C-alpha cells in the first residue's frame, strides 16, 4: 500500500464514527410537531378568536382549531384559554385566514389527455 492509500483509509475510518455521534443531535433538537405554534403566538390567536370572552364555543373556534374534539380535553363544547393554548402547542390550532369562507383545500384540475383515434 502507498502512503496516500493509508492516509485515505485512516481519514475514512475516523470520519465514520464521528458521523454516528452527530446523527442523534439534529433529531433531538427538532420540535415534536412542526405545526405547533409557540406560547406567545398561541396567546395571540386566542386573543383574536376569543375577543375578550372567557371561553370560546366550538362554532367560534372552528376557523382556528383543526380537530375540535381532540383539542377539548373535557369535551364540554367550549375552550378556556389554557385548553386552547395547550391544543395550540400540540399543533391543533392555526391562525385563521382573513377570508374564513375560503376552502381549506384546493383542487387543481389537470388538462385531459386526448388520444388520437384513427
Closest to 68 (Cα-Cα) out of 80, 58, 83: 58
Q: Measured between alpha carbons, how far is 15 from 51 in angstroms, rounded to an integer? A: 57
Q: Quick check: helix, strand or coil at residue 77? A: coil
Q: Measured between alpha carbons, how far is 7 from 58 in angstroms, rounded to an integer? A: 67
Whether the pLDDT of residue 88 is over 50: the answer is yes
Residues pairing with 80 in the sheet: 55
Closest to 87 (Cα-Cα) out of 66, 106, 107, 116: 66
Evaluate whether 87 touches 56 at the Cβ level (below 8 Å).
no
Write the pLDDT tens digit of every residue in 17-71: 544 544 444 444 444 677 788 999 999 999 999 998 999 999 999 999 999 999 9
pTM of the model: 0.55
Evaluate whether 48 touches 95 at the Cβ level (below 8 Å).
yes
Averaged pLDDT of the chain: 74
Q: How far apart are the first and last CA of the chain?
A: 69
Whether the pLDDT of residue 89 is over 70: the answer is yes
Amino acid at each position: 500500500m502507498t502512503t496516500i492509500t493509508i492516509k485515505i483509509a485512516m481519514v475514512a475510518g475516523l470520519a465514520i464514527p464521528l458521523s454516528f455521534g452527530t446523527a442523534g443531535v439534529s433529531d433531538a433538537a427538532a420540535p415534536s410537531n412542526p405545526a405547533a405554534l409557540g406560547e406567545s403566538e398561541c396567546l395571540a390567536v386566542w386573543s383574536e378568536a376569543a375577543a375578550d370572552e372567557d371561553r370560546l364555543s366550538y362554532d367560534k373556534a372552528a376557523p382556528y382549531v383543526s380537530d375540535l374534539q381532540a383539542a377539548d380535553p373535557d369535551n364540554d363544547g367550549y375552550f378556556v384559554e389554557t385548553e386552547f393554548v395547550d391544543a395550540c402547542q400540540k399543533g391543533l390550532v392555526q391562525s385563521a385566514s382573513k377570508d374564513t369562507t375560503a376552502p381549506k383545500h384546493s383542487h387543481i384540475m389537470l388538462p385531459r389527455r386526448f388520444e388520437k383515434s384513427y
